[in-house]
């Protein structure tokens, strides 16, 4: 069986690893449009910017690892079309046949046309090259403005402050991360950044971006503009699903996959940021843009390509590191949100754990600087919200 993987990122690297671990001896071709072998993106907004991680440390495996496993890994090679009827992937003038195709094309940053067309120094952060450019610009006393107080915007703010840059973060919502975490936890992140000297401007609306003598001038409605040496636009990502759509696969905010990560074509699967998954444990579709999902999707898709018939049921998980705050989160409240929050520990001290409840269920859990808590959190998310769960005096470890 010939397997072709399009996209050479985290999901792809893990799919290949699993395929060989499971004993697949057929051909594997991986094509990636970037010039690098697959790499981890989380360090790009953390250790790489801080200088504690070297660029060489981000690669999932080195080139030899793929050669030793007889994986035909082609970098700087964009897939340009898929022919579902003939089961071929086109790479410019060349065609590669497949028996099974895995789409792992990830996502790309949303752009603001007003920033792109301004001629001002504007950057985005998705690739290693973009991270290296950003790292060189985060110098002592440099002024950086960030549009968007999501995970990437806040992680870059943290790294930039630690490098001595002056940081202004502009966010239209009343709190950072409010949609994901709710008011109580969003306030923890707002306080954290303000304590570290970030000029965090919430509820602001960017009306224009201009270029003035090498600087970016960010115009805001009703208030003075922000002037910066560099503007990072961090307003989320869109799934890289145009190849799939053009090939005729069902696409809607990502490539639509069933519980087993199979697309609308029985020979094609999708994994990672690009996959809009019909998640059996969450009772609906979810497209997760996190590290752990890319790894586990990649491995699961590999086993399904080899004939396994199990749905993917793992709950979404993510982590962040900002200043001295490390946290991990598991679960997915979804658009319905939550109606209760149970805090074990001290949010102001940024120590402890939190459970989000909706109706009679625990829908998500998170810890702040309590690394032993993630296993008990995983055990309780999805379970009934019992009296013990609701009682903050009952230790987390006793709930699982
Ligand atoms: C700066 C940053 C920090 C992050 N930090 C965290 C974190 O702290 N915690 C967390 O949980 N998650 C984090 N994430 C998210 C996590 O990195 C992603 O969820 C993960 O990388 C997704 O993996 P993927 O394999 O689906 O896609 P990607 O890693 O995006 O890989 C997809 C690859 O496919 C390539 N490609 C696309 N189209 C084609 C084509 N037509 N032909 C060939 N190649 C193509 C792309 O160029 C890309 O190299 C972070 C992401 C970024 C950008």
What proportion of the chain, given as a percentage, has pLDDT over 70? 100
Cβ density class 87-101: b for 16+ within 10 Å, e for less: bbbbbeeeebebebb
Q: Which ligand 1 atom minimizes the distance to the CA of 243?
A: 41
* Residue that finishes a domain, picked among 233, 256, 281: 233
* Spacing, Cα 289 to ligand 1 middle (Å): 8
Ligand 1 atom at minimum distance from 292 CA? 11
Range of the domain at 161: 111-233
Residue 282's CB is within 10 A of a number of other CB atoms, namely 19
pLDDT band, residue 128 (cuts 50/70/90): very high
What mean pLDDT, rounded, does the chain reach?
97
Does 223 lie in the same domain as 153? yes
229 and 124 fall within a common domain: yes
260 plus 147 within the same structural domain? no
Ligand 1 mean position, distance from CA 34 (Å): 11
Spatial separation of the C-alpha atoms in residues 43 and 127, rounded to whole Å:
11
Indicate whether 306 pLDDT > 90. Answer: yes
- pLDDT confidence of residue 334: 86
Q: Are 146 and 167 in contact (CB under 8 A)?
A: yes
Q: Is the CB of 234 under 6 A from ligand 1?
A: no
- Tell me which residue has its CA closest to atom 38 in ligand 1: 105
d(CA 372, CA 345) in angstroms, rounded, equals 14
Q: Among 357, 56, 358, which Cα is nearest to 366's?
A: 357
Q: Is residue 311 part of a domain?
A: no
> For residue 335, what pLDDT is reported?
86
Do 259 and 352 belong to one domain?
A: no
139: tokens are: 């110098």
Q: Report the C-alpha gap between 309 and 59 in whole angstroms.
A: 31
Report the pLDDT averaged over residues 122-134: 98
| Residue 222 pLDDT > 90 | no
Q: Which residue's CA is minimally distant from atom 6 of ligand 1?
A: 42
Distance 274 CA to ligand 1 centre (A): 9
Query: Per-residue pLDDT averaged across 258-280, rounded?
Result: 98
Ligand 1 center from residue 249 Cα (angstroms) = 21
382: domain CATH number is: 3.30.390.30
- Percent of the chain residues past pLDDT 90, beyond the cut: 97
Is the alpha carbon torsion for 297, 300, 305, 311 positive or negative? negative
**Total structural domains in the chain?**
3
Query: What is the pLDDT averaged over residues 320-344?
Result: 94
* Nearest ligand 1 atom to alpha carbon 77: 43
pLDDT tens digits, one per residue of 310-325: 999 999 999 999 999 9
In a domain, 317, yes or no: no
Confidence band of 379 (pLDDT split at 50, 70, 90)? very high
Residues 200 and 93 in one domain: no
Helix axis angle for 10-21 and 291-305, nearest 10°, is 40
276 CA distance to ligand 1 centroid (A)? Answer: 15
Q: Is residue 36 part of a domain?
A: yes
Mean pLDDT of 276-292: 95
Describe the crossing of helices 151-162 and 178-195 by its angle, rounded to 10 degrees.
Answer: 10
How far is C-alpha 50 from the geometric centre of its chain's CA atoms?
Answer: 19
312 occurs within a structural domain: no
Q: For ligand 1, is residue 153 a contact (CB within 6 Å)?
A: no
Q: Quote the ligand 1 centre to 234 CA distance (angstroms).
A: 15
CB 369 within 8 A of CB 325: yes
CA-CA distance, 175 to 179, in Å (whole number)?
Answer: 9
Q: DSSP per residue over 114-159, as a string?
A: HHHTT-S-EE--SSHHHHHHHHHH--TT-EEEEE--SHHHHHHHHH
* pLDDT (0 to 100) of residue 33: 98
- Per-residue confidence band for 72, with pLDDT thresholds at 50, 70 and 90: very high
CA angle 336, 327, 123 (to 5 degrees): 85
Cα separation, 231 vs 118, whole angstroms:
11
The predicted pLDDT at position 283 comes to 87
Identify the band that residue 392 occupies on the pLDDT scale cut at 50, 70 and 90: very high
Express each pLDDT in 101-113 by its tens digit: 999 999 999 999 9
**Is the Cβ–Cβ distance between 90 and 5 less than 8 Å?**
no
What is the average pLDDT across 370-380?
A: 95
Collapsing DSSP to helix, strand or coil, 106 comes out as coil
Q: Which positions ≥6 away from 231 have C-beta within 8 Å?
A: 115, 120, 121, 122, 123, 144, 145, 146, 147, 209, 216, 218
The answer to whether residues 229 and 123 belong to one domain is yes
Which protein residue has the closest C-alpha to ligand 1 atom 37? Answer: 105
Q: Residue 400: pLDDT above 80?
A: no
In terms of domains, do 68 and 19 share one? Answer: yes
Question: Which of 305, 332, 348 is the last residue before a domain boundary?
Answer: 305
Ligand 1 and 124: CB distance under 6 A: no
Q: Is residue 186 part of a domain?
A: yes
pLDDT tens readout for residues 22-59: 999 999 999 999 999 999 999 999 999 999 999 999 99
Q: What value does the mean pLDDT take over residues 155-172?
A: 98
> CA 174 to CA 370: how far, in whole Å?
28
Same domain, 229 and 284: no
């Amino acid at each position: 069986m010939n397997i072709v993987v399009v996209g050479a990122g985290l999901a792809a690297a893990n799919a290949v690893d699993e395929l060989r671990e499971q004993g697949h001896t057929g051909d594997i071709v991986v094509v990636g449009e970037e010039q690098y072998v697959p790499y981890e993106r989380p360090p790009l907004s953390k250790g790489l910017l801080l200088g504690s991680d070297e660029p060489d440390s981000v690669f999932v495996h080195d080139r030899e690892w793929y050669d030793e496993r007889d994986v035909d890994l082609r970098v700087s090679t964009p897939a340009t079309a898929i022919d579902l009827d003939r089961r071929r992937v086109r790479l410019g003038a060349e065609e590669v046949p497949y028996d099974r195709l895995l789409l792992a094309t990830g996502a790309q940053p949303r752009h603001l046309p007003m920033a792109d067309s301004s001629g001002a120094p504007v950057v985005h952060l998705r690739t290693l090259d973009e991270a290296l450019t950003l790292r060189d610009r985060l110098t002592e006393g440099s002024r950086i403005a960030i549009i968007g107080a999501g995970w990437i915007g806040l992680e870059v703010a943290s790294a930039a402050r630690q490098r001595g840059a002056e940081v202004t973060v502009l966010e239209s919502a009343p709190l950072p991360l409010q949609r994901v975490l709710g008011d109580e936890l969003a306030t923890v992140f707002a306080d954290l950044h303000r304590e570290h000297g970030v000029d965090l401007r919430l509820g602001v609306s960017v009306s224009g971006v201009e270029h003035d003598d090498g600087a970016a001038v960010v115009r805001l409605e009703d208030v003075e503009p922000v002037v910066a040496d560099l503007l990072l636009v961090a307003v989320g990502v869109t799934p890289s699903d145009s190849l799939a759509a053009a090939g005729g696969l069902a696409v809607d905010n990502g490539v639509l996959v069933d519980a087993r990560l199979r697309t609308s074509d029985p020979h094609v699967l999708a994994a990672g940021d690009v996959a809009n998954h019909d998640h059996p444990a969450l009772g609906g579709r979810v497209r997760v843009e996190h590290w752990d999902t890319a790894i586990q999707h990649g491995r699961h898709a590999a086993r399904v390509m080899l004939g396994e018939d199990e749905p993917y049921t793992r709950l979404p998980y993510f982590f962040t590191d900002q200043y001295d705050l490390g946290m991990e989160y598991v679960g997915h409240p979804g658009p319905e949100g939550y109606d209760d929050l149970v805090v074990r520990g001290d949010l102001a001290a940024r120590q402890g754990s939190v459970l989000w409840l909706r109706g009679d269920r625990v829908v998500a859990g998170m810890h702040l600087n309590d690394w032993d808590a993630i296993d008990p959190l995983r055990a309780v998310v999805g379970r009934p919200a019992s009296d013990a769960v609701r009682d903050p005096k009952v230790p987390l470890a006793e709930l699982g």
